[in-house]
Chain A
């Protein structure tokens, strides 16, 4: 990997900043930024997971935020019923995401292009409306989570701010590392090849459907982990976390940072959320600036930030 190229330097800076924010922000008199960065990192995990299927696999899921919701709601509903042990909550959240993404993937991967986009959207909205109609769990008002996931040990307590923050940070690093390994493995080669030329992959003897579906489930689980972290961080889940605009924002973060680059989605999430954070403190009409900016970036930097900063590299 080229560490001298500016895109990677930016990534190292973003990750480095994430690592020191819990100490830096209070020292600068802006402790509020600790939670901002924690949120950004959660979105970055979700964006990294979407990039696996969208950037590398060409599967443009417009319902990816649903796994944030499913991961989050699993924590919320279990906590509501008094089950707060992380050893129950987390495996259950992960397996629920795996199961749902297996079902949704099995259905939607039978289609291509616009149909795939619409089916992933429709399936995700189905779960969204289910959560809106679940009166017991707060409907559209959402569900407060009274206690964070409990690991039952004193040295690892998510109620501790630093532990919570660095748990998220650890998962972010893990998600980037896992996706890097995946992409360069045999499995990843099949996924990338199927994006480029599906028929050819079949003509060398590999059933692309099974491989795509596996990637879809891996991405669903990874995004579900982001969801369970979000539920713990905010002590709150609501249908809004899996409504379709969230899925659209995830797509935007991936495109903004640079599709099919391992770190792109991290910088994409960072720039997207920091910009909206900063602009919204300037004016309540910040969308008027934010929207055109994003449009310009997509038009003039087709490889996203990574493409813009990488000399001599052109991406489709």
Chain B
């Protein structure tokens, strides 16, 4: 198959078309379009206040866009709730760790496994003895490196461990697509490297949109990068293209990474 033909059949996993979102007078997302191909890691970078988290919130359904549309696996999901999008396979993680702090690590993931198994209108059987919840949850915790922390209350985990749990909760819903909002936020260099390695393992099994501040992580992981400034995409391309883009250097990379 020729390269041109490959590109033509390249499947688009997630597409945003001309999204707009403003808060009062502040335009957080400005006519933003993006295409994420199946299987790739697509990074979104930008200075503070560029509207990265707003973008993730709009894509995941926590915020409704003022205009524009979102297609996931070819289907228009713009009007679907956050929960309904997750059920279609579009999972997300949060920049500010969002876990159930008074649940144990295992219970956190079990809830997510349970959600992936359909409705939870089951009122009688105790979950603690439910192998169909427990086993996948334990497996997943072992995969993210929390296998020996299953019975610890999540609020008592170290920050890095909570970030790992955050990812485990997202993975437990059986997604095909991961929206990762700064998975390395607040991590030390060693923990960050661990997370980069883990995301490399996930690559291939999941399509990912990765919002990240850590440039080493972005250039180590991303197939393509979109640069956001004031809610606008000023460039999209491969890591090399982005590194050498004059507008990007001026707007963003110039300060830290030339």
Contact = CB atoms under 8 A, between A and B. Distances in A.
Interface of A: 181-182, 184-190, 192-193, 196-197, 199-208, 211, 214, 316
A182 B121 CA distance: 10
B99 A200 contact: yes
Contact of B116 (A200, A205, A316): A205
B126 A184 contact: yes
B120 A206 contact: yes
Nearest to A190: B120
B162 to A, nearest CB: 12
A190 B81 CA distance: 17
B172 A204 contact: yes
B128 A207 contact: no
B114 A197 contact: no
Given A189-B114, A193-B100, A203 B86 contact: yes
A40 B124 CA distance: 27
A200 B98 contact: yes
A185 B83 contact: no
B87 interface: yes
Contact of A189 (B62, B111, B172): B111
B127 interface: yes
Interface residues of B, number: 39
B115 A204 contact: yes
Contact of B127 (A189, A199, A201, A207): A189
Contacts of A203: 60, 62, 82-83, 86, 91-92, 94, 98, 170
Contacts of B173: 204-205
Given A203-B60, A203-B94, A211-B120, A189 B107 contact: yes
B56 to A, nearest CB: 11
B54 interface: no
A113 to B, nearest CB: 19
A203 B98 CA distance: 10
A166 B115 CA distance: 40
B123 interface: yes
A212 B154 CA distance: 23
17 contacts: A181-B126, A186-B120, A188-B123, A189-B111, A193-B103, A197-B101, A203-B82, A203-B98, A204-B115, A204-B173, A205-B87, A205-B115, A205-B116, A207-B81, A208-B83, A214-B121, A316-B102
B138 interface: no
Given A200-B169, A205-B86, A205-B116, A186 B103 contact: no
A189 B130 CA distance: 13
A197 B125 CA distance: 23
A189 B92 CA distance: 20
Given A186-B133, A201-B111, A203-B92, 15 more contacts: A181-B124, A181-B126, A184-B127, A189-B107, A189-B114, A193-B100, A200-B169, A204-B86, A204-B91, A204-B115, A205-B83, A205-B87, A205-B116, A205-B173, A211-B121
Interface string B96-114: 0011111100010011101
Q: Which of B81, B114, B173 has the most CB of A within 10 A?
A: B114
In order of increasing CB-CB distance, the 3 nearest A-B pairs are A205-B86, A204-B115, A184-B126
B6 interface: no
A235 B100 CA distance: 47
B131 interface: no
A197 B100 contact: yes
A197 B123 contact: no
B110 A204 contact: no
A186 to B, nearest CB: 4
A202 B81 contact: yes
A202 B123 contact: no
Contacts of B99: 197, 200
Contacts of B121: 186-187, 211, 214
B103 to A, nearest CB: 7
B126 A187 contact: no
Given A196-B100, A207-B83, A181 B169 contact: no
B230 to A, nearest CB: 26
B98 A197 contact: yes
B122 A185 contact: yes
A186 B102 CA distance: 17
Contacts of A204: 86, 91, 111-112, 115-116, 169-170, 172-173
